[in-house]
């Protein structure tokens, strides 16, 4: 049997597709990833981001007409956002360890524990995965394959896990000599001096493992005191502002003034890079589009004030000839 796996939009190796690949190969089947030359018996479509919903649904029809005899499976938030019955992998595939050869990537990917105990309305995690305690916990040492020293942790709210689990994840990473990337961000409202110390002992990495980086988010303007307190505790523990990146949601329930204020506080008060995320990736509003471009292109952000840039955001500016960091954010669904 031939299996065609289609990865629409993953920014990191797709865990579900890697499990499907391992399961299929264990049956003696052949697996093709995003191939235009395969003749599939089964097709597996994965799309994560809600703004790809229309494209993802159209692709089902396209593959049906192209391969009328193939069995088509699909999953990911782009397909099941808003549905009561969410799409799950069959249990035997969910229980299969991922096939890392699929992406030929040296980063292990997985969860110690899924779920989240908060209920942010713009987010799908709590609807899809429920509370943290309702999900199985696995230690890093139980799922990180031998020989892997880089781990992309997908837990959505490690900071809200029980204290002993939170500490165990970070201590296991240190003891195993693992570089950990907390891809979905660390809930800065939950930071304490003890936690900051533990994080600083084996500082997390960005998703490409080029630099030490702790991601966190500031979605609600009202939590400013917690954000300030959290950054200050982290800096006291040894983090520099440059080792922190703040996902900053705009276009959901905030005003332009509140958006600019958060960016101003992060950068000018603490030297922390904001990473602006437009709600549902909707940049139809020119101001939103300009802000996303200005903030997320670091060289623009550093070289020109927003009020100057936003007057003529489409004009060409010379790019710097030095290589600046790029940011490959995780899969947090907004």
* Rounded CA separation 171/177 (Å): 10
Q: Which residues bind ligand SF4 (CB under 6 A)?
A: 116, 118-120, 123, 125-126, 156-157
Q: How far is the CB of 31 from ligand SF4 (least distance, A)?
A: 31
Give the up-direction half-sphere exposure of residue 253: CA atoms within 13 A in the CB hemisphere: 9
Q: How far is the CB of 213 from ligand SF4 (least distance, A)?
A: 18
In sequence order, the β-bridge partners of residue 73 are 44
Sheet holding 2-7, edge to edge: 30-33, 2-7, 42-46, 71-75
* Rounded CA separation 250/218 (Å): 10
Q: How far is the CB of 194 from ligand SF4 (least distance, A)?
A: 21
Using a 10 angstrom Cβ sphere, with 0-12 exposed, 13-18 middle and 19 or more buried, the burial of residue 34 is exposed
Q: Which residues contact 318 (CB under 8 A, 6 or more apart)?
A: none
Q: How far is the CB of 173 from ligand SF4 (least distance, A)?
A: 20
* Rounded CA separation 56/45 (Å): 8
Q: How far is the CB of 120 from ligand SF4 (least distance, A)?
A: 3
Q: Closest CB to ligand SF4 among 125 and 152?
A: 125
């Amino acid at each position: 049997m031939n299996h065609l796996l289609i990865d629409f939009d993953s920014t990191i190796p797709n865990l579900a597709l890697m499990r499907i690949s391992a399961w299929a190969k264990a049956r003696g089947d052949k697996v093709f990833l995003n191939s235009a030359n395969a003749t599939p018996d089964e097709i597996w479509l994965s799309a994560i981001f809600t703004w790809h919903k229309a494209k993802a649904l159209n692709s089902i029809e396209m593959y049906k007409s192209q391969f009328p005899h193939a069995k088509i499976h699909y999953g990911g938030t782009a397909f099941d956002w808003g549905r009561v019955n969410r799409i799950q992998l069959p249990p035997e595939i969910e229980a299969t360890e991922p096939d890392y050869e699929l992406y030929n990537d040296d980063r292990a990917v997985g969860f110690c524990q899924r779920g989240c105990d908060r209920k942010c309305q713009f987010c799908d995690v709590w609807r899809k995965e429920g509370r943290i305690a309702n999900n199985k916990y696995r230690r890093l040492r139980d799922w990180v394959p031998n020989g892997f020293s880089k781990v992309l942790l997908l837990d959505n709210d490690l900071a809200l896990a029980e204290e002993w689990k939170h500490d165990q994840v970070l201590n296991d990473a240190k003891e195993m000599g693992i570089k950990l990337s907390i891809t979905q961000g660390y809930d800065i409202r939950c930071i304490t001096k003890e936690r900051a110390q533990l994080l600083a002992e084996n500082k997390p990495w960005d998703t490409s493992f080029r630099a030490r980086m702790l991601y966190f988010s500031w979605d609600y303007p009202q939590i400013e005191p917690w954000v300030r307190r959290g950054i200050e505790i982290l800096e006291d523990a040894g983090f520099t502002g440059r080792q922190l990146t703040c996902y900053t949601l705009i276009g959901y329930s905030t005003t332009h003034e509140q958006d600019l204020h958060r960016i101003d506080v992060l950068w000018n008060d603490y030297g922390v890079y904001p990473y602006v995320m437009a709600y549902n990736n909707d940049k139809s509003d020119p101001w939103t589009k300009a802000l996303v471009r200005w903030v997320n292109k670091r060289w623009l952000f550093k070289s020109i004030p927003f009020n100057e840039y936003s007057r003529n955001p489409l004009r060409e500016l010379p790019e710097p000839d030095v290589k600046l960091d790029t940011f490959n954010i995780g899969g947090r669904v907004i």
